[in-house]
Chain A
Amino acid sequence: MLRAIWLTIQNEARLLLKDPIVLFMLLLAPVVIIAVAGYSLGNLYGNANALQLPLVDLDRGEVATGIVDALRREHSVALELVNNPDEARRMVSRRDRTPLAIEIPAGTSEAVAAGGEAHLILFVDPVRRIEVNALELRIGELCRKVTASAQARAQTRLAASRSDLQKKLQSLAAAIKQEQAQVRQQMEQTQAKVTASVHAQTAAVLERAGEDTKAIVTARENQAFADVKGQLSSREAILRDIQNYLLELKTSQRAFEDWLTLLKAKAGSHASDIPAPPGFPAPPSDAELAALAKPITLPAIDPSMPSTLAPEMFSVSIPKLPSIRDGDLLGELAHFRIAQVPTLPGGLGLFEQPATRGGAVVVNAFDQYVPGFGVTFLLIGMLLGISLTVFDEREWGTLKRMQVSGAPLAGLLLGKLIARFGVGTVQMILLFAVGWALFGISLGREPVALLLPMIGISFAAASFGLVIAAVARAHDSVMPLGAVTSMAMSAIGGCWWPLDFEPGWMRAVARCLPTTWTMQSFNDLMIRDLSVSAVMWPFVATVGLGIIYLAAGIVAMLSLGE
């Protein structure tokens, strides 16, 4: 039993040592991935190379100086002063390790000194959101330190001023209190004098006015009495005339009646021939009767009173008010020179703007992960797909059989590549469609432009699959080699994390990988919202790398004696 176990162990060890693929997977593959991840993510754990930080100082004041000095002391950033915001924006958009730029707007120092709210403008690249956040934390902390320092200085000055002011106020309060007592006393004296004067003058005027009024009233009453008396005399004469008339009439009437009776007796049958009776005396005239009927009118008495209360009758002289000691008070105030009260500095905030005009400052995480992992799985599929089918065809003999037809090997390989390239492009389109439908990823301002990086990476990946097929030499080597290569290319190329995490040498290596250019294109189109012209050069670079891979792969395959 033990012998069997021992022999099995020995044999397993022999098999292991004879199998380079297992050794590769056990040792080299993890070392490669660990190295890539370690170097790439080292910055997150403090092994940071300084990030570039462009700064535009349009303020040139105390606050700007404080911020610039503080940033120069900050080891995690390399400050670079630039002249204008557009240049700063360009640097953020196009340079490595430059996730944001700062603009200190003109008037910032004045606004802060006046206690107002001022903002530093940050031009951020949303693609490098993680670095932006890290830098923003540092910059925010610096802003807090700058404003806190200014506030502390102002507090000290304010405390001194308050003490001085208190003393002055106390002195002033005593002076005012004294003045108040003096004024109160003088006011009381003046009030008494004025009251007495007014009382005396009023009494004299009223007495004289009463006398005058009495005389006028008496004269008017007499006049009215005489007038009424005249009217009554006139009417009495008329009444006597009427009385005489009425007596005469009465006498005439009796005479007439007697005459008539006599007449009628004498006339007998000739009574009808009797002439008209004699006339009566004339009655009083109508005017006399109207005058008699006229009501007695009372004489109008002039209601107006003589204006005896003329203003000039009053001559109230107000005694001179006591003089206030204004000279003393002004003197006090003149000495009341309060030291300039410092204003507490205002806050200094941060205001983000996208480095590329029209872009967003916040990113949908899927805008990074859909293309990132899409490219990764495209690579895995293409590298393994191409190389495994090449090996399969080699092992099956189908490749040789097709070559017999006179078809050149390069043509057969190209056909295989084109088919896989088509599949890869469709795969990417579907992935993006799913990403858009499920995760709401941005397709940029020109969704059709996304086809460029898709086509580029599909072509490059298909071509690189041929290189893997040539390098692997054996079917079993394809899987570990292809998987590790795909993962390394994805990681270094920025599919899994921002490129800026990586050290300089790794970023230089990344420039030789199609994944880098492709991710840059996707970021430009989807996150930075740039136009198709921005991805033309990355597309050319990706296709160029694909052509190099293709040429290398075909040459390698031909040299293998296919």
Chain B
Amino acid sequence: MNPDERAPILEAIGISKSYGRRLALDNVTLGVRPGEIAGLLGPNGAGKTTTLSILSTVLRPDSGRVLIQGQPPAADPRGLCRMLGLVPQSLALYPTLSAAQNVWHFARVQGLSRAEASKSCAQVLREVGLDDRADDPMHSFSGGLKRRLNLACGIVHRPAILLLDEPTVGVDLQSREQILALVRRRADAGAGVIYSTHYMEEAERLCDRVLLIDRGRLIADGSVDELISLGGGRPRMELTYRGQLPAEWPESFAGVREIAPAGGEGIATLEMASLAQVRDVIQQLQASGVRVIDFSLHSPNLSDAFIALTGRTLRDNSQEAV
């Protein structure tokens, strides 16, 4: 069955959350269906972690509700919540316990019997490539291994819903590939996955659907292609220069506009009407005495869509994560 035809296995309906006077989530509605990977994409501080915390029932929203298989978690807290598997952004592990002990503990907490836990632990450690390090204490692992163990602890009970909060932050390429492959396999096996990330490339590669979130608001919800098209599908040029830009620049070029300066002084990002305008822009700058040190061109992608929707880049680190 096509995932789109299935009822959402996890839904958030109109959820809002404030921390003091700061509104972290503002009337967000989203959902994920079985077998679907929904990417929760947004810059740091956009509200991704808050959203996942509410979806995982750890945090109570100020308003709105969460439904798991169409039911509020309170209807069957143990049964419904055990359908959830949370892989938090921080390493939610016991440093002094071995990998096997960590996985075993969370398997038991999630309600598996001893026999099920033994079997599932061995299997999941194999899946994440830690079976040969099962008896080593977690604190002796590298960052990538820790991330893999963190993932193993979240999926050991084979949850129907996986909530992954930036699971690849700070990991090596090999670990990242293993994690992404594992998530894909779980989705293919029927799990609904919400994958929070600020890596646009991961979202484009992995997610069936992307939820763009910014400043606590869900600003777009659709497939990767749909969102890219929302951004207008126009090429983007990043310039590195030295000198004083002309006063009327770049409005003097039809269809060219400067996106909020993300790289600081000496760097500019321009949205172009067409690739043909690149040469004209560089020539004008040189004619104005500005020295162009470097420039790059980008095809339209989710980042462009985000920029188009918010006027800001995805990698805006000016705000702390929530």
Say whether A397 contacts B109, CB under 8 Å.
no
Say whether B58 contacts A405, CB under 8 Å.
no
Which of A396, A405, A407, A408 makes the CB contact (< 8 A) with B93? A396
Say whether A404 contacts B91, CB under 8 Å.
no
Say whether A404 contacts B57, CB under 8 Å.
yes
Judge whether B167 is part of the interface by a CB distance below 8 angstroms.
no
Residues of A within 8 A of B58 (CB): 400, 403-404
A415, chain B: closest CB distance, angstroms: 10
Say whether A405 contacts B88, CB under 8 Å.
no
B194, chain A: closest CB distance, angstroms: 13
Judge whether A561 is part of the interface by a CB distance below 8 angstroms.
yes
Residue with the greatest number of chain A CB neighbours at <10 A, chosen from B59, B78, B86, B92: B92
Residues of B within 8 A of A400 (CB): 53, 56, 58, 86, 88, 92
Say whether B82 contacts A405, CB under 8 Å.
yes
Say whether B88 contacts A402, CB under 8 Å.
no
Bound: A398/B91 CA distance, A? 8
Say whether B94 contacts A401, CB under 8 Å.
no
Judge whether B285 is part of the interface by a CB distance below 8 angstroms.
no
Residues of A within 8 A of B78 (CB): 405-407
Say whether A405 contacts B109, CB under 8 Å.
yes
Residues of B within 8 A of A398 (CB): 92-94
B170, chain A: closest CB distance, angstroms: 15
Closest chain A residue, CB of each to CB of B94: A398
Say whether B90 contacts A402, CB under 8 Å.
no
Bound: A506/B53 CA distance, A? 46
A389, chain B: closest CB distance, angstroms: 10
Residues of A within 8 A of B91 (CB): 396-397
Residues of B within 8 A of A404 (CB): 56-58, 81, 84-86
Say whether B90 contacts A396, CB under 8 Å.
yes
Judge whether B243 is part of the interface by a CB distance below 8 angstroms.
no
A475, chain B: closest CB distance, angstroms: 14
A322, chain B: closest CB distance, angstroms: 123
Say whether B73 contacts A396, CB under 8 Å.
no
A158, chain B: closest CB distance, angstroms: 86
Say whether B81 contacts A396, CB under 8 Å.
no
- Near B by CB (< 8 A), chain A positions 367-416 give 395-398, 400-408
Residue with the greatest number of chain B CB neighbours at <10 A, chosen from A396, A401, A402: A401
Q: A396-B93, A396-B94 are in contact. Are A406 and B153 (CB under 8 A)?
A: no
A283, chain B: closest CB distance, angstroms: 160
Q: A400-B86, A401-B106 are in contact. Are A406 and B80 (CB under 8 A)?
A: yes
Interface size on A, residues (CB 8 A): 14
B50, chain A: closest CB distance, angstroms: 12
Bound: A406/B68 CA distance, A? 13
Judge whether B77 is part of the interface by a CB distance below 8 angstroms.
yes
Say whether B81 contacts A405, CB under 8 Å.
yes
Judge whether B111 is part of the interface by a CB distance below 8 angstroms.
yes
Residues of B within 8 A of A408 (CB): 77
Bound: A400/B59 CA distance, A? 9
Say whether B77 contacts A402, CB under 8 Å.
no
Residues of A within 8 A of B86 (CB): 400-401, 404
Residues of B within 8 A of A403 (CB): 57-58
Judge whether B16 is part of the interface by a CB distance below 8 angstroms.
no
Judge whether B44 is part of the interface by a CB distance below 8 angstroms.
no
Say whether B59 contacts A561, CB under 8 Å.
yes
- Near B by CB (< 8 A), chain A positions 401-455 give 401-408
Residues of B within 8 A of A402 (CB): 106, 109
Say whether B154 contacts A401, CB under 8 Å.
yes
Judge whether B110 is part of the interface by a CB distance below 8 angstroms.
yes
Q: A404-B86, A406-B80 are in contact. Are A397 and B73 (CB under 8 A)?
A: no
Residues of A within 8 A of B81 (CB): 404-406
Bound: A407/B111 CA distance, A? 10
Residues of A within 8 A of B154 (CB): 401
Q: Quick one: CB contact mask for B99-128 with A, threshold 8 Å, 1 for yes?
A: 000000010011100000000000000000
Say whether B88 contacts A406, CB under 8 Å.
no
B314, chain A: closest CB distance, angstroms: 25
Residues of A within 8 A of B90 (CB): 395-397
Bound: A403/B109 CA distance, A? 9
Residues of B within 8 A of A401 (CB): 86, 88, 92, 106, 109, 153-154
A360, chain B: closest CB distance, angstroms: 47
Closest chain A residue, CB of each to CB of B154: A401
A419, chain B: closest CB distance, angstroms: 13
Residues of A within 8 A of B111 (CB): 405
Which of A395, A396, A407, A561 makes the CB contact (< 8 A) with B109? A407
Residues of A within 8 A of B79 (CB): 406
Bound: A405/B107 CA distance, A? 10
Say whether B106 contacts A406, CB under 8 Å.
no
Q: A400-B88, A401-B106, A401-B154 are in contact. Are A406 and B93 (CB under 8 A)?
A: no
Say whether A396 contacts B77, CB under 8 Å.
no
Bound: A310/B84 CA distance, A? 151
B96, chain A: closest CB distance, angstroms: 10
Say whether A406 contacts B92, CB under 8 Å.
no
Bound: A306/B225 CA distance, A? 183
Say whether B56 contacts A406, CB under 8 Å.
no
B143, chain A: closest CB distance, angstroms: 15
Closest chain B residue, CB of each to CB of A561: B59
Closest chain A residue, CB of each to CB of B80: A406
Bound: A561/B53 CA distance, A? 12
Residues of B within 8 A of A561 (CB): 59
Residues of A within 8 A of B59 (CB): 561
Closest chain B residue, CB of each to CB of A412: B109
Bound: A408/B154 CA distance, A? 18
Closest chain A residue, CB of each to CB of B159: A404
Q: Using a CB–CB distance below 8 Å, which chain B residues touch chain A? A: 53, 56-59, 73, 77-82, 84-86, 88, 90-95, 106, 109-111, 153-154
User: 10 nearest interchain CB pairs?
Assistant: A406-B81, A397-B92, A401-B92, A406-B77, A404-B86, A406-B78, A397-B90, A397-B88, A404-B56, A398-B92
What are 17 sample pairs from A and B whose C-beta atoms fall under 8 A apart? A395-B90, A397-B90, A397-B91, A398-B94, A400-B86, A400-B88, A401-B153, A402-B109, A404-B56, A404-B84, A404-B86, A405-B78, A405-B81, A405-B82, A405-B109, A406-B73, A406-B82
Known: A396-B94, A405-B78. 14 other contacts (CB 8 A): A396-B91, A396-B92, A396-B95, A398-B93, A398-B94, A400-B56, A401-B86, A401-B106, A405-B84, A405-B110, A406-B57, A406-B79, A406-B82, A408-B77
Q: Using a CB–CB distance below 8 Å, which chain A residues touch chain B? A: 395-398, 400-408, 561
